[in-house]
Amino acid sequence: MTLEKGSLILIDYTAKVKETDLTFETTREEEAKKSDLYDMTRRYEPRLISVGEGWVLSGLDDALKNASAGDKLKIEIPPDKGFGERVQNKVRMIPLRKLGDKADEARVGDTIELDERVGIVRFIGSGRVQVDFNHRFAGRTLIYDLEITKKLDDDNEKVLSIIKRRLPIDDQKIKFNIEGSGVQIDLPEETFLVDGLQIIKSAISNDIFKFVPRVDNAKFVETYALKSSVSKKQDDQDDQKRQSLEKSTEVSQPTSA
């Protein structure tokens, strides 16, 4: 049965640039290990997608609208349905001093933020730097090798996946309970100091309200416990996990799969 708009699904995929066969994103650990993408702090597992809601590239969204749970697909996405065509006037030559304190650190290939835009350094010389504000895959055709592993229909599965989308933590640490029209979510201590936590909680709530219609209120519980001195080593380990979590947490990523 073809997926409907707004269906929550889990997809397992590897995305490559057609022209170079470069893998730039994957949910599969074995594929990540074959490239320079592998990150031992990341959980490799199928990703949550809402079909037709703009959570992914438009070319991928279009293909998913005509697919069914369990399908294995190889999707070719042209630039206009991916990261766009290359635009020459987005490549600018600017004085190196405009980079401020980071001018001496800049290297060709670096990704930098300038005037609230992200660009890639293409050339440095004679006191000037060329910055390309096109997306690094602009003008490229993309290939997605994916499997729709599951369509989520159970409310508990939906809530679990929605929480994990915003807070990538171990399943066993996610505690929640749906009762009547409300849901209570008990946050693990390692998330208490995550940057932007209030925004993340708001986003989780809004997604739950949208995809689990019977829920109209969400309560987040943070429990603090007194610890003995012998727990310092564990605290240090938790700090390391929290720092990794802060780096990987994204409130929203609507433009790529």
What pLDDT score does 232 carry? 59
pLDDT class of 241 with cuts at 50, 70, 90: low
Res. 225: pLDDT tops 80: yes
Could you read off the pLDDT of 30-46 as tens digits, one per residue? 999 999 899 998 999 99
Confidence of residue 57 (pLDDT cuts 50, 70, 90): very high
CATH of domain 1-85+138-153: 3.10.50.40
Residue range 154-257 forms a domain whose CATH class is alpha beta
102 close to 113: Cβ distance less than 8 angstroms: no
pLDDT score recorded for residue 256: 45
Q: What does the pLDDT read at residue 257?
A: 46
Tell me the pLDDT of the chain averaged across its residues: 90
Identify the bridge partners of residue 72 per DSSP, sorted by sequence position.
147
**What would the pLDDT profile of 10-19 be if each residue is shown by its tens digit?**
999 999 999 9
Question: What are the residue ranges of CATH 3.10.50.40 in the chain?
Answer: 1-85+138-153
| pLDDT above 70 coverage of the chain, percent | 88
Q: 72-93: b or e for each residue (b if 16 or more CB lie within 10 Å)?
A: ebebebebebbbbeeeeeebee
Q: Classify burial at 184, counting beta carbons within 10 Å of its beta carbon; exposed 0-12, middle 13-18, buried 19 or more.
A: middle
**Domain 88-132 belongs to what architecture?**
Beta Barrel (2.40)
Neighbours of 12 (CB within 10 A): 19
pLDDT band at 119 (very low <50, low <70, confident <90, very high): very high
The SS3 assignment for 170 reads coil
CA distance 181 to 102: 52
Domain boundaries for CATH 3.30.70.2210 within the chain: 154-257
Count the helices and strands in the chain (H runs, E runs).
5, 12
The per-residue pLDDT for 1 is 76
pTM of the model: 0.80
- The whole-angstrom separation of Cα 194 and Cα 48 is 21
pLDDT, tens only, 62-105 = 999 999 999 999 999 999 999 999 999 999 999 998 888 888 88
Residues 6+ apart with CB under 8 A from 128: 93, 94, 95, 96
Query: What residues contact residue 1 under an 8 Å CB cut-off, 6+ apart?
Result: 68, 69
**The predicted structure's pLDDT at residue 164:** 95
User: Residues 6 or more apart from 206 whose CB is under 8 A from it?
Assistant: none
Q: Is the pLDDT of residue 246 over 80?
A: no
* 87: Cβ contacts below 8 Å, ≥ 6 apart: 134, 138
pLDDT band for position 253 (50/70/90)?
A: very low
Which of the residue ranges 18-27, 34-43, 141-150, 234-243 would you say has the lowest mean pLDDT?
234-243
Query: What is residue 251's predicted lDDT score, i.e. its pLDDT?
Result: 41
Burial class (CB in 10 A: 0-12, 13-18, 19+), 200: buried
Residue 197 has pLDDT above 80, yes or no: yes
Residues 159-174 have pLDDT tens digits of 999 999 999 888 899 9
**Could you tell me whether strands 117-125 and 128-132 are parallel, antiparallel, or unpaired per DSSP bridges?**
antiparallel
In the chain, which residues fall in CATH 2.40.10.330?
A: 88-132
Q: What is the mean pLDDT of residues 204-228?
A: 93
Of 40-49, 219-228, 247-256, the one with minimum mean pLDDT is: 247-256
